[in-house]
Structure 1
Amino acid sequence: MMMRRLRLPLLILLLSLMAAVSGLAQNGTVPHVQEIFDRYGRAKDVTTVVMTREMLTEYDIHLYRSLTMREPGKRLAVVRAAVDADRKVAKSIKEVIDFGTLSSGYYELPPANGLNRYILYRYNPKRGITLIYIEGKLGADDLVSLLLQNKNTDN
């Protein structure tokens, strides 16, 4: 009898906790591309770079993560699905579609914990996938300037 009385409150508590966790994932606090970094970041054919605030204070960046897959194979669909899921909550989107395929994308996610968040994606059949996640105090204009500055110094 006592177990029956506890069953309903426990069920309600469990459902409430599940809804809260689901709400965190849906409001964009944890980007879907995080799963890509977690899942493939240590694979033999993947190059991953992670830099934290200490290395990037000059740029107002708190976290920089990049992942490069030269031959993504079936993983391409998984990466695209994660990027597409984050795209749905992005507040700013810039994309290049090449022959019906997303070849590059810039996504500004809603801020979380007072930090701006950005995803950069590029796919080239000959060079593979590059996925970058950045979070920090820097604004979108600052990020674009930084990227253009680095691109100009590469030439």
Structure 2
Amino acid sequence: MNKPIRIIFIILLMGISTSLYAQQGLQIASVFQKYSKHKGVTMVELSNEMLETYEMTLYKSISFKNAGKAMPLILRCLEIDKKKAKKVKEVILDGEIQSGYYQLPAIKEDINRFILFKTSKKGNATLIYIEGELDADDLVTMLFMKKN
């Protein structure tokens, strides 16, 4: 292999391994893996350009039009992952999580990690994983800022 091709290959491998490492050790990774290509499911992963705008290194979300069959796995994964969280904020109705905010310990200095979860009365659900330099206040501001 000539040198330029070898360098490109190494850079690609580093990018892939960083993405795979991002959710390593988290149970929610299995939700993304299992359901990302199912009908009625939308998965979003932001590009590097968008990530830099919001001081993120990774953003992944998965939304379910009808989360019925996926809910037991989602809730089981959240239950396990939230045990590792530094901060937990949840809204629980009739014994079930309606929404959750979980700040996980950093895996690297200045790289914060968050799991966000929300359900709707219509049976929809969204699970989001974010990591980056943004802190909890930045995240809350971004989530609740008014759209023009």
The two structures have a TM-score, normalised by structure 2, of 0.78
Displacement of 1:53: 3.0
Cα 1:121–1:30, aligned 2, differ >3 Å: closer, same or farther? same
Following the alignment from structure 1 to structure 2, what is the Cα–Cα distance between the partners of residues 34 and 121? 14
**Preserved CA contact (<8 Å) 1:118 1:134:** yes
2:60 aligned residue (51, 65, 68): 65
Match in the other structure for 2:46: 51
Q: Which AA in structure 2 matches 1:145? A: T
**1:113 Cα offset (Å):** 2.6
Alignment of 1:85 with 2:71, yes or no, is: no
- 2:108 match: 113
Q: What is the identity percentage for the equivalent residue pairs of Structure 1 and Structure 2?
A: 39
Deviation of the 1:46 alpha carbon = 0.4
Partner of 1:31: 26
Contact 2:68–2:123 under 8 Å retained in 1: no
Change (3 A) 1:131 1:65: same
CA contact (8 A) 2:113 2:130 kept: yes
Matched, 1:153 2:130: no
TM-score if structure 1 supplies the norm length?
0.75
Q: Which residue of 1 aligns with 2:16?
A: none
With 45-54 and 114-123 compared, the bigger mean Cα shift is at 45-54
- SS of corresponding position for 2:37: coil
Amino acid at match of 2:42: T
- Confirm or deny: 8 A CA contact 1:52 1:62 kept in the other structure: no
Inter-partner Cα distance in structure 1 for 2:60 and 2:103: 15
> How far apart, in 2, do the equivalents of 1:29 and 1:42 lie?
20
Alpha-carbon distance, 1:101 to partner: 1.3
1:101 aligns with 2:96: yes
Gaps of 5+ in 1: 1-27
Q: Distance in 1 between matches of 2:70 and 2:54?
A: 32
SS of match in other structure, 1:88: helix
Which is higher, the Rg of structure 1 or of structure 2? 1
Please state if 1:133 is matched with 2:108. Answer: no
Give the unaligned 5+ runs of structure 2.
1-22
Count of aligned pairs between the two proteins: 125
Displacement over 6 Å in runs of 4+: none
CA shift in 2, pair 1:46/1:30, >3 Å: same
